A = this chain, B = another copy of it.
């Protein structure tokens, strides 16, 4: 019996062993009643831990393929009495996944999307807008109008790069953000996540270097890692990424692009200063390196001066700008956009058509009307006010309830990034907190190197109700005191 193991594979050793034995059983290389080497023997031969062999054998036992007793040891108990099976080769799905698929195993986002809206758990976890602020009445009105006057159009295919009227509204919205573009510089995407996916597929080859702020949004980290990019992180201070280090890293690593969230960064809440923005643009121009500017929260400033996005400062057309309606209107709509030079949009569109043809027509029409009829502006005003209060409430409760925690109050966005004392174990605290009924995301998910965490947790203040914020922070305090 010959087993080969691959220590570089992402497939666990015990599964590799299990699969190979399984294959030998199915293919009759090992006949019924064949006696397998003992666990210790095989562990020695393969130079693996004995527990690995124990686990492999256990799995095979559970599947009814092998059995063991004191007299004979472990032997093959499977006998295939279907004649047709003589000609079968067992298919091991685990062994045929693509390289990128094997890099892809983090399901943090899946867990957040599964947030049960009726659960009693208080959630500071996801990056979701408040359900109480959904523009329900406005949407009802819009949909009823659309159904009355344009029902047929709701069913048609849309252009790959998006509905023309919607792109025109986005163009106006961008003008409010001081960015002057034409509709051919825009592609509508299924949220920012798809925007990033399209950009990455269009530009990134295996082993390309991407520079990102440290820490940064885990959805970006995961996507880049899945596609085999090398992520190098740029340290930040309270004014955003350190541009001097950036320049050093560019010279050192020749990156494909720089990914940044300049406004109310996820997770830190840091906003890049105007000076840094100019510096960053200058560096991008000096080295001819494009910037991916991710701006889901830009509209949600609760205090301080408005700052123009990088895209507004970019005279050379080196910035690819991503934004979305997910944080301002609703995540369920799946409507976002990319603004970039026309030739880049054309290239991105080729991937969009291969990926899913276009964003669903109904959502595009609804968002378009929401913008066109002026509801958007009023809605942003309304949620700014409410979120600002929620942010203040959470800050205040954190300060008064949990003295050992350190944080700064962000000028906008969705999150408060809290540093815990070093003696608190993040893992134990999360376990205890979940038990006590409050959920959040631990800081390590936002770092490239998992060991480089600084004992942070990210708390979202937009989704929970006010009373949940009050109660949730108390529960967090309780959980801390219970594990210290």
Q: Given the complex, which residues of B lie within 8 Å of A329, measured CB to CB?
A: 155
Q: Given the complex, which residues of B lie within 8 Å of A347, measured CB to CB?
A: 93, 97, 101
A406 proximal to B (CB < 8 A) = no
B-contacting residues, A183-238, CB 8 Å: 189-191, 193-194, 197, 201-205, 208, 219, 222-223, 226
Q: Given the complex, which residues of B lie within 8 Å of A159, measured CB to CB?
A: 110, 113-114
- Across the interface, A98 reaches (CB within 8 A) one of B158, B202, B286, B357, namely B202
- Measured in the bound complex, the distance between the Cα atoms of B97 and A136 in whole Å is 42
Which residue of the partner chain B has the closest CB to A343?
A: B93
Contact A155 B330 (CB under 8 A): yes
A329-348 vs B, Cβ < 8 Å mask (1 yes, 0 no) = 11111110000010110010
A362 proximal to B (CB < 8 A) = yes
- Measured in the bound complex, the distance between the Cα atoms of B191 and A360 in whole Å is 10
B-contacting residues, A329-387, CB 8 Å: 329-335, 341, 343-344, 347, 349-351, 353-363, 366
- Across the interface, A110 reaches (CB within 8 A) one of B219, B344, B353, B363, namely B353
Please give the distance in Å from A197's CB to the nearest CB on chain B. 5
Contact A88 B354 (CB under 8 A): no
A51 proximal to B (CB < 8 A) = no
Contact A285 B109 (CB under 8 A): no
Q: Given the complex, which residues of B lie within 8 Å of A104, measured CB to CB?
A: 350-351, 354
A134 proximal to B (CB < 8 A) = yes
Contact B151 A139 (CB under 8 A): yes
Which residue of the partner chain B has the closest CB to A365?
A: B332
Of A38-46, A52-60, A287-295, A429-437, the one contacting chain B is A287-295
What are 21 A-to-B residue pairs whose CB atoms are below 8 Å?
Answer: A93-B344, A96-B290, A97-B203, A107-B349, A107-B353, A110-B159, A113-B160, A113-B357, A114-B159, A134-B151, A140-B147, A158-B332, A190-B355, A190-B356, A197-B355, A197-B356, A222-B354, A331-B357, A332-B361, A334-B360, A360-B360
For the complex of A and B, the 3 pairs showing the least CB-CB separation, nearest first, are A332-B361, A89-B288, A190-B356
